Amino acid sequence: MKRLPIFIVSLAALFNSLSGYCWGPTGHDVVAAIAENHLTEKTKERLAELLDGRSIVYYSSWMDSIQNSPYWEAGYNQTKTWHYANVDNGHTYQTMKKNDNGDVVVALERLTSELTNNYENLTDSVRSDYVKMIVHMVGDMHCPMHAGRLSDLGGNRTKVRWFSRNTNLHSVWDSKIVESARNWSYSEWRDQLDRTDAEFKATVMQGNFEQWFTETVAGAAKIYDYVESMGENPNLSYQFVYDFSPLLEDRMLVGGYRLAYVLNSIFDPESVQPIK
């Protein structure tokens, strides 16, 4: 029995680290790679300077990885809640219980504002970190279970089976559905998804963070309704992958276009209509 508290602590640590890992590396890489296709030359140059020549794909999961690095205790633990916003059934972002430590909408608004309006007062290191976080958070914002309910901690407490193995709904949308839908690398996903026409791009590359997040809340609601209609501890498998592939593809594609829009707005504002 003496070992129990340690076990509980380690489980809690595991839970905390998993809860912020939506999309998993492949999903974040897909979003960043699609965005890369739509950056202006000027934005690409500015990013190359800030990221020492590395790409935004390279850093797309950096914000998850710092949770296990010296950065964490050095102050970056304040970013822990910036990966999501949990909206309970019947609520909107406006009416939901706000997290005092911030959420994905607040954090994106703050960091883009800093890079847009306070750039001269930031060090290169801070500018670089903010870019890496924006790249990650725009991806998270488009992941349905990062807009999941507070009552089940964004799907972490909704028990499901995935091809008969016990897991939870958050984990399904973390990486399982991406891996099961296609056996593609991030660049194959990018090449297959980024084939839409100019009108579609123009439609989705506008708006603001709260509007975009609200779309993800609607996607999450569809998933909850579907899963709840299947009863206790449902077994999600091929039918779920088939039924939700359109949502999965839409979220990664639209997230990629919007990430390009955000980065172009910051680094090449004359190329876009500013975010309202």
**Alpha-carbon gap, residue 177 to 54, rounded angstroms:** 28
Residue 19 CB, nearest approach to Zn ion (Å):
9
Instruction: CB nearer to Zn ion: give 46 or 83.
Output: 83
User: Could you say whether residue 144 binds Zn ion (CB under 5 A)?
Assistant: no
Instruction: CB nearer to Zn ion: give 20 or 155.
Output: 20
Phi-psi sector, 107: left (phi>0), alpha (psi -120 to 50), beta = alpha
For residue 159, what are the β-bridge partners?
Answer: 168
Residue 264 CB, nearest approach to Zn ion (Å):
22
**Alpha-carbon gap, residue 239 to 236, rounded angstroms:** 7
Question: For Zn ion, which stretch binds (CB under 5 A), given 98-106, 137-145, 198-206, 224-232?
Answer: 137-145
Residue 183 CB, nearest approach to Zn ion (Å):
24
- Contact in structure between 131 and 267 (CB atoms under 8 Å): no
User: Could you say whether residue 140 binds Zn ion (CB under 5 A)?
Assistant: yes
Residue 200 CB, nearest approach to Zn ion (Å):
26
Question: For Zn ion, which stretch binds (CB under 5 A), given 7-15, 134-142, 167-175, 244-252?
Answer: 134-142
Residue nearest to Zn ion (CB): 83
Question: For Zn ion, which stretch binds (CB under 5 A), given 8-16, 17-25, 207-215, 240-248?
Answer: 17-25
User: Could you say whether residue 20 binds Zn ion (CB under 5 A)?
Assistant: yes
User: Could you say whether residue 255 binds Zn ion (CB under 5 A)?
Assistant: no
Residue span 69-88 as binding mask against Zn ion, x where in contact by CB under 5 A, dash where not: --------------x-----
Contacts with Zn ion: how many residues (CB under 5 A)?
3
∠181-187-192 over CA atoms, to 5°? 60
Of 102, 104, 113, 126, nearest to 209 by C-alpha is: 104
Instruction: CB nearer to Zn ion: give 154 or 275.
Output: 154
User: Could you say whether residue 154 binds Zn ion (CB under 5 A)?
Assistant: no
Instruction: Give the number of other Cβ atoms within 10 Å of residue 225's Cβ.
Output: 10
- Contact in structure between 209 and 109 (CB atoms under 8 Å): yes
Which helix (H) or strand (E) covers residue 9, if one does?
Answer: helix 4-19
Contacts of 268 (CB under 8 A, 6+ apart): 40, 42, 43, 46
Point out which residues bind Zn ion (CB under 5 A). Answer: 20, 83, 140
